[in-house]
Structure 1
Amino acid sequence: MTLSVRRRPAAPPVRTRPGPLQRWAHDLALGLRFGVAGGREGWIRNALTAVGVGLGVAFLLLAASVPQIMDSRNERLTARTPSTVDQREDPTPSGTSVLVLHVSTEYRSEPVIGQLLRPEGDRPALPPGVSRIPGPGEMLVSPALGRLLRSPEGAALAQRLDDRVVGTVGGSGLVDPGELLFYAGSDTLTAPGMAFRTDGFGPTEFGFTSGPIDPVLTALGTLITVVLLVPVAVFIGIALRFGGDRRDRRLAALRLVGADMGTVRRIAAGEALFAALLGVVTGCAVFATGRLAAGSVRIWGLSAFPSDVVPVPWLAALILAAVPVVSVPLTLFTLRSVVVDPLGVVRRSAPRGRRLWWRLLTPAAGVAILSFSDRIPDWSGPEQPFPLALGATLVLLGVTALFPWLVGAVVGRLRGGPLSFQLAVRGLQLRSGTATRAVSGIMVAVAGVIALQMVFAGMHEDQRRASGRSPAWRVVEVTDARPDAGFAARMAREFRATAGVAGVVPMVTSTARYPAPGPVEEQPFSPVVIADCPELRKLARIRTCADGDTFVANMPSENVDSYVNQAARRGEELIVDRVDAGGWRGEPAVPGFRWRLPADAEAVTSRQDVAGWHHEGIYATPGALDPGRLRNGGTTVLVRVDDDVPGTHDRVRDTAARISPALAVWSSRSMDRDQKFRSMHNVLLAGATATMVLIAASMVITQIEQLRERRRLLSVLLAFGTRRSTLAWSQLWQTVLPVVLGTVVAAVGGLVLGTVMLRLIAMPLVDWWGFLPVAGTGAGVILLVALVGLPALWRMMRTDGLRTE
């Protein structure tokens, strides 16, 4: 007999309602699954979004690498800087010491960095990237300089640098792959005076400190950063909305199986999150591939080693995390005006009117910040990038915010016209947000580039005016560390024989001190200029002059001896050519010699030399003060060039190199970066056009998506007898109207931003109509997008689009 025990049924499990975080996590995870298993159309949409987001992420990662690129450049520059042992009071040669003389030059406005080296021991210190110090008549060159010297374009430079190339400078000794650098050997360098001594290369406790940052460069760099990054951010926002209309139909299916509106929106955000994550991976891949070509790309004379193109970790983490995180609220924001019902998706036909006040307040706040940024202490000013970046960003975002309101306000008041025009206007009245969203990315880029063009034009005009006013712009100054009258005469003959030279003024210079009580640095001094009478007449208003005469030259506005002319005391004994020990080169003391300034030295008024400068001090002919007695000082030749003869500056440098590679050549023309301004202007236009083409690609995709969504509507219009040409013109009008309005807004925004920036950096406002090429490029790109979409429109205008199941 079997006893059966009757069990009580188990109580059903208690179902607890998931909390908000659990619901969010579950719905986002479900959206991620839909993104993965979305079928062919879903993956096409994900691929388009990934490409758009990936390009933007790659650009942002490149921007985040700029600090590392600049730090690496500065580290290599510091590592090859000679660390002077001459900080000691009594510098002496050693087994590791090297004599160094900087002999940098320019070639066709490109800087060529060079140093002459002479070892003093058997274990000389070596610059980075150099395995040995070249011997006399030999030199080591950077790869870029080697290629230039071997090319036909560098034939003239090869004659100037005629030493035999015996090796290549390694990458550790170069600032960037395209740098033009050489090290040449010498057996004639001497120290002190001609060269200086070092026992190593790299930073020391006496290292140089950088001066203040040029506020104009700070403002320009900040504006370039904002102009490049804001359109990228707008573009990423556009890319995250690819396929929005097609996604809406899937949301209706979710409503049909019982999902509420909150769940549907969170699932849609999960799909966008998957596409954004895919875009981040794509962007990292594009960045990793593109950085390999960093060394072969040179913009505005700058390039970078691939190893330097590394994003700042916290900036990279912020970019990689921000894009997916922003995709969720952005998707929820785009669905705010969408009603998803089980039977379909309906966008509210009467959306809430766009408010104007905050759209005007945004650019106005940006203009106010820029206008008063140089008046707010501590945190602001042209040298502080933060208010500049904030103000410029607000102005550009104000362009984006004002554009949709303007389109809605204008198309809402349009009436009449051809049938195609009426169809386009009605379409914009119902769906202006989609059209303005696609165009706004290009409009931001156009506004930023217009502002940059105005700044570049103002800087170029300021330098052009300076070059027209200052005679120094047409003068090359050539100096030698040795005071030698015979050498000065030879230099004058060589330069006078150079084509394009209009005038030459040679002189030997030194100083004279009055032996007053107290420290030497407090003793009155005067400059001393020794030259022949014809040359002295070019420096001062001298009536009569003969060898053996002496003059005291003062500035034209001075009736008494000036501050720098305190030692010019007639009939008094002076100490000429005295130098104390020390200085940045650690020169030993030079006692100088005593010389009496004649009591009958004539007082004269200095005049502008060929460079527009005044030389006040003691003027002496060789018969009055023998230049051979000088041990300190130098030889200077002022060379005036003829601007109408092209290539004169390069020929002057060639002549100087032929006379002696130790000559220092300085020119105000080295500050004139006309070529670099043109190069930067071209790069700017190319970059802006590339950005516009990038956004235009997204517009093509968006346009095709919209056409496919309106396929049934087009079929209905075609079935009622509407002409295909009417529908095509309607599509064109629907593109032209936002383009025209957007171009106006972008031009005004760019002109306002450019005007404020020019005022901030105190540059002239020129070329009001310079925005037309940029605005025309933006408008042309968008119109090209409309034309590209016409074939797709033509294929979709068929009556079989009315079929349904």
Structure 2
Amino acid sequence: MSAPTLERPAPPPGDRVRSRLLAQFALGARLALGSGREGWGRLLLTAAGVGLGVALLLFTASFPGIVQQRNHRLYVQNDTFEDERAAPSDHSVLVAGADTTYRDRPIRGRVVQPEGQRAALPPGLAAFPGPGRMAVSPALADLLNEPGSRLLRERLPYPVTGTIGPDGLLGPGQYAFVLGGSGLSVDGGAHRITEYGHFSPPKPMDPRLVLLNVVGLMVMLAPVGVFLAAAARFGGERRDRRLAALRLAGADRRMTARLAAGESLVGSVLGLVAGAALFLIGRQLIERLTVAGFSFYASDISPEPLIAVAVALVVPALAVLVTLLAMRRVTVDPLGVVRRSGADKRRLWWRLALLLLGLLVVGAAMALPSGYNPAGDARDDLFNPVQDTRGSLLVSFGVLLMLAAVCTLLPWLVEAVIRRAGGGSLSWQLAVRRLQLGAGPAATAVSGVVVTVAGAIALQTLFLSVSDHFTSQRTPPAAYRYQQSVDFPGAGADAAALAARLGRSPGVAGTLGYAEFYLAGPAGREWDGTVVRVADCAALAELATLSGCRDGDAYLTGPTGGSGQAEPVVVAGSQVRAQYFQGEGEAPAWTVPAITATVPSRLGVSPFGTPRTGGQLLLTPGAVPAGVLRGQPATVLVTMSAGTAEQADQADQADQAEQAEQLITDAMVISPQARTGFPLTFEADHTYLAVKRVLTAGAGLTLLLVSLSLLVGQLERLREQRRILGVLYAFGTRRRVLALSVLWQTAIPMALGLALAAAGGVLMGAVLQYTAGLDFAFDWGSMLTLSGVAAASVLLVTTAGLPLVLRLMRPSGLRHE
């Protein structure tokens, strides 16, 4: 008796459908991989295009991680004091700031002096540098060794005995040094800590820069979707013949579409691998770049896991979806492949609805209550809800909707204009007729350019207004006798000696030294105290108009230099203390001396601050009790040989920069803690410069992606027109006429697209300026430049496809199986 046969139960209908779909996708992938040299060329081109887009997306997804890692490094380096009254201990160390700038390169400097055997070691160091010796970062070591760094070597003449490791740096390009000290004290401007890594409130980015960042990323990433879609659509004649053969073998139309989607899936997966490889290579190269003082370690650049997974899933899904949608307009028969051109009239209402929805989203962002104005009161410069990060994100989403509206309006505009186009030359008529039969592919080809130009114009408009707040030079209302200042922490009692020593520096025409500090105000208004300046009679005579002066005199000045009596905040004989005291222990109390006279202050002395409403208290050293200047800084005003501000404007810029570097060097030779200020000299904000350069580089990369997208679309359209071109050439049409017709087919949508992009960019730029609370301003020259560059890139890519046009005119192009 035979054994019973066990029959395997049939799978459910749903499982059969899923397995059949997967089998068809897998068969399409196998056909793509085994399609020979031409098929591999198409796959590699698709993978290269998708890889560029994926790499850009991965770098964008790394921004949150970069910010988090940078904040962590800032936290580790933080050496702010824990307690102003902390006593020396076995773990304590004295730290003094010695930051400087050399030829627009910021250099972080610290002077350290351990007070115990187990003193807190600065991060990145294996041991404390000895007194008068320093440890430097690798970037600063290279800068010191450069032949043109003579002044920097004079500024930091200390022997290098160590290297700061990555744990003590914000990035590989950071310039930093740690100098061993021997005579540091809290009264001398140092502070005492027992460990590094104290919490400090994070310094938020300027809200305008947040808006600029978010909008810039949105503008750069918007064309990436267009490019990925174009790269996924790239096909070849061999694939068409293969699909026709499969139809002849019995495959239905749905199966052929799935097979084509499987082929596109292979290209997108290869693109994912290529994009990941480009990301890893670019991440290593980024370590060699420093942008406006910012640099990053490769280990700090890693995409957010969720965003990376989303990219890995969305890109192949986008390739499959685009291919399936494209195959809906393709008829695959056993005798060949025919691409249909639809004649349906495009509707305008939903395209305008996208634009209106974007404006409504921006309006909703304006209606949000800000963190400074939770009640949602009337908008003004102080309470602008867009200054919050969520407001910036909402505005950027509205801009994205408006960009989508501009992109979708282009096909409708092209068809509306072409429908009414008149006669002209033969090449013009051929191009117009071709566009009348189907303007969609031509409009799609330049849609990426339109999105890029519209976004770039909006971004440039926002840049123009934002730059006024970060790059405008402060122009003095009148000429000042002193244009620079040097502060020496804790050296208030030696102000006159420091001024005399600095006055012997090359290029210095005059100096004025004094000690300045604020008195604590009355109860409830401690912050509104009188300004006290202590100097000898010669220095006080430059600050105010004195009738006579002897050591021991005290003067009170009016707040605006007038001769009228100023209302005194302090009264002679009252007990006072310094308001901001950074010395050891408590601020010493002292008695205000008798006021010799009330005198008018002099205008045009220096641009460093203005007196408070109660005037200034000018004291000679004899009027100040011993110990009052303990812990107070010394200020030395400096005038260079250029003299007045008007003369400085006429001097050579290079000479001014060299004089400034020399002054900083001379001051740091006196004390590494010296801080030099140039209020009349333009100093661009480093964060603004970094944002500007990163967005400019991203815009250039986006334009490259768009150009590749245009090339892909151009090759695709020419391949579809091969038989038409062959027939026209066989009937005697000149090659020049056919080549010009191809150029017209791109030039017409391009001209309409650029006009639409200019209008949309101006509208979005005006919206962004209004939401940011900025004045309306438009850079028409930059708009024309952007449009010209975009037009040139389109024409260049189209011209690059002309050799293929000439090849398609051969009689072999008429062959049809």
Q: Fold match, TM over 0.5?
A: yes
Match of 1:792 in 2: 804
**Partner of residue 655 from structure 1, selected from 645, 653, 666:** 666
Q: d(CA) in 1 for partners of 2:344 and 2:311?
A: 33
Does structure 1 residue 411 correspond to structure 2 residue 407? no
Match of 2:643 in 1: none
TM-superposed deviation, 1:60: 0.8
Question: What secondary structure, in the 3-state scheme, does the structure 1 residue paired with 2:233 have?
Answer: coil
Q: d(CA) in 2 for partners of 1:776 and 1:739?
A: 11
Match of 1:117 in 2: 112
**What pairs up with 1:303-702 in 2 under 5 angstroms?**
303-370=295-362, 373-377=365-369, 381-384=386-389, 385-463=392-470, 465=472, 467-468=474-475, 475-491=483-499, 494-495=502-503, 497-499=505-507, 504-512=511-519, 525-533=529-537, 535-540=539-544, 547-556=551-560, 566-567=569-570, 569=571, 572-577=572-577, 587-598=584-595, 600-602=596-598, 604=600, 607=603, 609-611=605-607, 613-615=609-611, 616-625=615-624, 630-639=629-638, 642-643=648-649, 644=651, 645-647=655-657, 648-668=659-679, 672-673=683-684, 684-702=695-713
Does structure 1 residue 283 correspond to structure 2 residue 275? yes
**Partner of residue 774 from structure 1, selected from 774, 777, 786:** 786
Q: d(CA) in 2 for partners of 1:70 and 1:771?
A: 32
Q: d(CA) in 2 for partners of 1:424 and 1:510?
A: 78
List per-residue Cα deviations over 1:58-111 (Å, max 9, x = no partner): 111111112222222221221122264536x5x222233211001101112221
List per-residue Cα deviations over 1:385-432 (Å, max 9, x = no partner): 321220221222222222222222222222211111111222222342
Match of 1:40 in 2: 37
List per-residue Cα deviations over 1:30-60 (Å, max 9, x = no partner): 3333333333333222221111111111111
> Which amino acid is 2:790 matched to?
G
Q: d(CA) in 2 for partners of 1:683 and 1:63?
A: 11
List per-residue Cα deviations over 1:522-542 (Å, max 9, x = no partner): 698433112344543544465
**What pairs up with 1:83-102 in 2 under 5 angstroms?**
84-86=81-83, 89=85, 91-102=86-97
Match of 2:374 in 1: none
Number of equivalent positions: 783
**Worse-matched range after superposition: 354-363 or 55-64:** 354-363
Question: What secondary structure, in the 3-state scheme, does the structure 2 residue paired with 1:296 have?
Answer: coil
TM-superposed deviation, 1:211: 4.4
TM-superposed deviation, 1:218: 0.9
Q: d(CA) in 2 for partners of 1:185 and 1:442?
A: 57
Provide the TM-score with structure 2 as the length reference. 0.87
Q: d(CA) in 1 for partners of 2:516 and 2:364?
A: 48
List per-residue Cα deviations over 1:352-397 (Å, max 9, x = no partner): 2222222223234334433553332259522223212202212222
Alignment check: 8 A CA contact 1:139 1:164 kept: yes
List per-residue Cα deviations over 1:9-33 (Å, max 9, x = no partner): 9999989866654443343333333
TM-superposed deviation, 1:228: 2.0
Question: What secondary structure, in the 3-state scheme, does the structure 2 residue paired with 1:200 have?
Answer: coil
Alignment check: 8 A CA contact 2:542 2:605 kept: yes
TM-superposed deviation, 1:509: 2.0
| Pair 1:251–1:286, CA change in 2 (3 A) | same
Match of 1:756 in 2: 767
Question: What secondary structure, in the 3-state scheme, does the structure 2 residue paired with 1:478 have?
Answer: strand
Match of 1:170 in 2: 165
Match of 1:82 in 2: 79
Match of 2:380 in 1: none
Alignment check: 8 A CA contact 1:84 1:198 kept: yes
Alignment check: 8 A CA contact 2:230 2:712 kept: no
| Pair 1:286–1:12, CA change in 2 (3 A) | closer
Q: d(CA) in 2 for partners of 1:10 and 1:294?
A: 63
Q: d(CA) in 1 for partners of 2:680 and 2:259?
A: 63
**Worse-matched range after superposition: 460-469 or 390-399:** 460-469
Alignment check: 8 A CA contact 1:495 1:655 kept: no
Alignment check: 8 A CA contact 1:577 1:633 kept: no
Match of 2:53 in 1: 56
Question: What secondary structure, in the 3-state scheme, does the structure 2 residue paired with 1:770 have?
Answer: helix
CA RMSD after TM alignment? 3.5
> Which amino acid is 2:213 matched to?
G
**Partner of residue 202 from structure 1, selected from 197, 208, 218:** 197
TM-superposed deviation, 1:117: 0.9
Q: d(CA) in 2 for partners of 1:784 and 1:297?
A: 31
> Which amino acid is 2:351 matched to?
R
Q: d(CA) in 2 for partners of 1:154 and 1:768?
A: 41
> Which amino acid is 2:516 matched to?
T
Q: d(CA) in 2 for partners of 1:745 and 1:92?
A: 69
> Which amino acid is 1:487 matched to?
A
Q: d(CA) in 2 for partners of 1:247 and 1:640?
A: 77
| Pair 1:81–1:15, CA change in 2 (3 A) | closer
Question: What secondary structure, in the 3-state scheme, does the structure 2 residue paired with 1:153 have?
Answer: coil
Match of 2:749 in 1: 738
**Worse-matched range after superposition: 610-619 or 52-61:** 610-619
> Which amino acid is 2:191 matched to?
F
Q: d(CA) in 2 for partners of 1:466 and 1:666?
A: 15
Alignment check: 8 A CA contact 1:512 1:574 kept: no
| Pair 1:405–1:540, CA change in 2 (3 A) | farther
Q: d(CA) in 2 for partners of 1:700 and 1:522?
A: 69
Identity of aligned residues (%): 39
Provide the TM-score with structure 1 as the length reference. 0.88
**Worse-matched range after superposition: 118-127 or 684-693:** 684-693
> Which amino acid is 2:701 matched to?
A
**Partner of residue 302 from structure 1, selected from 277, 294, 297:** 294
